[in-house]
Structure 1
Amino acid sequence: MFNLTYSYRLQLNRQQEQTYSEWLETSRPVWNFALAERKDWYRSRSCPINTCSLHSEYIIPADAPRPTFARQCKALTSARQQNPFLQRAHSQMLQQVLRRMEKAFVSMWESGHGFPRFKKPGRMRSLLFPQLGKDPIQGNRVKLPGVGLVKMRMSRPIPDGFVVKQAQVVKKASGWYVLLTLQCDVDCPDIIPHGEALGIDVGLSHYLATSAGEIVPRPRFFGTLQRQLRSLQQRASRKKKGSNNWRKAHLKVARLHEHIRNTRRDFFWKLAHRLCDGVGMIFAENLNFKAWARGMFSKHTLDAAHGEFLHILKWVCWKRGVFYAEVKPDGTSQTCPNCGIHTGKKELSVRVHDCPECGYRTDRDVAAAQAIVKRGLAAVGHTVKMLGEGLSGRSPRTQESPSL
């Protein structure tokens, strides 16, 4: 099975938008009640057996089962029979709220994510419908539960052979969107190493450098609009909370955040496609970007979003038949890519690689990218030359960086 997710913008009328807005507010107390139930159960088990807190304790019977997705779904079914407020919303949509709660706790246990938080009014922004009716796509319309046929902007057609399995309606600052999950019963073979190889080294001085000698400057997505964002946030803070002007001011802030995100992702997609032109393999470092984000350059690291870019690059490589792999980052900037000797640790202020053994001289980041691609070729056991082989006589790539 192969899955795709396509995003389309919806054109809801006033009645349809009001219905989905009410469903969002209906799902919010379901999330908060389920989270409070789980939180109280865990706190009742956190007290030592021989001592009690002087402030307060959560008294829950010792034989009370742990709240799970299945038990909370049964409780939700009973609550819907007695509460008319819950009967207005779609039953499967409310169950998906509980499933999202379960995934949040699993991510907390296994991936180290934070504890789930309670949702205040306006924080629920998506509705997930796991099942759709027969033939949900009719031209430029999609049939959604509760509202019927809705116009959408068909920015790209549905691929042949794919079936729509589920839909997620998302409310953003710029409007309503639907994420359609498409499924096709095909087997996709793994991509094997082939063709010319390219290594990339990401950083903050430049966004990335390639083993072919190309250096991509780092755009300041957040930095260029930080002053405008600060001004909008100051205006919003001076408005009376809950007033119409307060909502309008916060909507402007949200739209600017969405604009920053859109420009960043647009740059990522264009750069990823350009890197895949004319190569068969791409190698990158397996870095811990969470540790980067905790350093003194945390704002610049989060603005660069290297982790998101590598995730997009991996998908683009698979789509275009390019082999992608990550190598260990230890010592890539301390190894000469020409002769392979260890040159020692370089300070961050040193931006030129100058090998004392063979005399090879180039940009520090370019040398690291060349060391990465050689390490990747050695790992896959491939004998094809890397792009730009012959380091002393290589010629840099001349394509320009994608414009914003």
Structure 2
Amino acid sequence: MSEVLWEQNHGFPRFKKRGAMRSFVFPQLSSNPIQNSSVKLPVIGWVKFWQSRAIPDGGIIKQARVVNRASGWYVMLTVAWDVKIPEVMPHGNPLGIDVGLTNFIATSNSLLVKRPRFFIEAERKLKLLQKRVSKKRIGSNNWRKAQKKVALLHEYVANCRSDWYRKISHQICNDVGMVFVEDLNLVGLSRGMLGKHCLDAGWGQFFTILEQTCWKRGVYFQKVDAKKTSQICPNCGVATGKKELSERTHNCSNCGYTTDRDVAAARFSSN
């Protein structure tokens, strides 16, 4: 029987644990499914919801995904919109960005932003809540309540991180026409000795949000090769050699240019 299912591309049946499935999709919706702050879902009917943004003119709602999170239920609407997306071309002032753990970002115009430790600051409270979960009987109401508190804290940390990324992205896009960031091996960094701190920094999510913000603001976004950005002087182009992590200042013996190591790497990326 299993061979027949496998040949028909059905796969093997899996046990559906309670609480494992946190979302489901309605692939088709009726015409005009949103009216008076309510969305009409098949089988379920009209459901009231808070609409975060308006549906664009000419947009057709194709499907809806209902997601269950710790803070409540959410509906994600997929809209088909016949519009030509303009491609942003290089223009204006260039800005290079170097990311790190001491300074979250260092820009080519000498802006240094300290790294906020969202998860590290919440880790002590998270450890306490997880300890309370371990002492509850699995499946009981108190166990579910304790689990929900852990999930709410995780969601709060994620929301704080995302909100900060969007604010700093808009600040970066002010008075610039091009933004260049390093194309880092984020998977390799997350598996290193400082993996927890790299994951807490969330550079991948920051780059994604920054790219979206640049597109909305009409700023050109490009990833550049991250190799030897801190080993070449951005002022004269002479190789200064490999630096230790404790060496935070860039000193060029050829032209005498001196600046912060991360700022020098950011300026080299924008050249």
Q: Aligned to 2:117, which of 220, 224, 234? A: 220
Cα deviation for residue 353 of structure 1 reads 0.7
Q: Aligned to 1:229, which of 103, 126, 135? A: 126
SS in 1 for 2:28: coil
Q: Percent identity?
A: 54
Relative to 1, partners in 2 of residues 1:301 and 1:119: Cα closer, same or farther, differing over 3 Å? farther
Q: Which amino acid aligns with 1:322?
A: V
Q: Aligned to 2:7, which of 59, 66, 82? A: 66
The one-character-per-residue Cα deviations of 1:100-144 (angstroms, maximum 9, x if unpaired) are: xxxxxxxxxxxxxxxxx9653201100111110110111211111
Q: Aligned to 2:268, which of 365, 371, 390? A: 371
**Alpha-carbon distance between aligned partners in 2 of 1:271 and 1:66, rounded to the nearest angstrom:** 51
Cα deviation for residue 65 of structure 1 reads 5.3
In structure 2, the partner of 1:145 is 42
**Alpha-carbon distance between aligned partners in 2 of 1:222 and 1:228, rounded to the nearest angstrom:** 10
SS in 2 for 1:182: strand
In structure 1, the partner of 2:189 is 292
Relative to 1, partners in 2 of residues 1:257 and 1:148: Cα closer, same or farther, differing over 3 Å? same
Q: Which amino acid aligns with 1:198?
A: L
Question: 1:180-195 alignment to 2 at 5 Å?
Answer: 180-195=77-92
**Alpha-carbon distance between aligned partners in 2 of 1:362 and 1:118, rounded to the nearest angstrom:** 59
SS in 2 for 1:367: helix
**Alpha-carbon distance between aligned partners in 2 of 1:365 and 1:171, rounded to the nearest angstrom:** 41
**Alpha-carbon distance between aligned partners in 1 of 2:101 and 2:268, rounded to the nearest angstrom:** 19
Question: 1:143-222 alignment to 2 at 5 Å?
Answer: 143-222=40-119
Relative to 1, partners in 2 of residues 1:195 and 1:135: Cα closer, same or farther, differing over 3 Å? same
**Alpha-carbon distance between aligned partners in 1 of 2:6 and 2:71, rounded to the nearest angstrom:** 43
**Alpha-carbon distance between aligned partners in 2 of 1:217 and 1:118, rounded to the nearest angstrom:** 46
Matched, 1:307 2:248: no
The one-character-per-residue Cα deviations of 1:63-82 (angstroms, maximum 9, x if unpaired) are: x75352xx57xx99xxxxxx
In structure 2, the partner of 1:377 is none
Unaligned runs of 5+ in 1: 1-36, 42-59, 77-116, 375-404
Q: Aligned to 1:266, which of 142, 155, 163? A: 163
The one-character-per-residue Cα deviations of 1:177-204 (angstroms, maximum 9, x if unpaired) are: 0011112111112111011111100111
Cα deviation for residue 146 of structure 1 reads 2.1
Q: Aligned to 1:121, which of 12, 15, 18? A: 18
SS in 1 for 2:49: strand
SS in 2 for 1:224: helix
**Structural RMSD (CA):** 1.9
In structure 2, the partner of 1:23 is none
Structure with greater strand percent: 2
The one-character-per-residue Cα deviations of 1:320-366 (angstroms, maximum 9, x if unpaired) are: 21111111111000011111100000000011111111111111000
Cα deviation for residue 282 of structure 1 reads 0.5
Compute the TM-score of the two structures, normalised by the length of structure 1.
Answer: 0.64
Question: 1:325-364 alignment to 2 at 5 Å?
Answer: 325-364=222-261
Count residues in correspondence: 271
Q: Which amino acid aligns with 1:326?
A: K
The one-character-per-residue Cα deviations of 1:14-59 (angstroms, maximum 9, x if unpaired) are: xxxxxxxxxxxxxxxxxxxxxxx9xxx7xxxxxxxxxxxxxxxxxx
Matched, 1:241 2:138: yes
Q: Which has the larger radius of gyration?
A: 1
Cα deviation for residue 242 of structure 1 reads 1.0
Relative to 1, partners in 2 of residues 1:202 and 1:119: Cα closer, same or farther, differing over 3 Å? farther
In structure 2, the partner of 1:33 is none
Structure with greater helix percent: 1
Relative to 1, partners in 2 of residues 1:269 and 1:119: Cα closer, same or farther, differing over 3 Å? farther
**Alpha-carbon distance between aligned partners in 1 of 2:255 and 2:121, rounded to the nearest angstrom:** 42
SS in 2 for 1:181: strand
Cα deviation for residue 208 of structure 1 reads 0.8
Q: Which amino acid aligns with 2:7?
A: R
Question: 1:26-175 alignment to 2 at 5 Å?
Answer: 60=3, 66-68=7-9, 71=10, 120-175=17-72
**Alpha-carbon distance between aligned partners in 2 of 1:66 and 1:328, rounded to the nearest angstrom:** 44
Cα deviation for residue 302 of structure 1 reads 0.6
Matched, 1:276 2:173: yes
Relative to 1, partners in 2 of residues 1:225 and 1:65: Cα closer, same or farther, differing over 3 Å? closer
Q: Which amino acid aligns with 1:353?
A: H
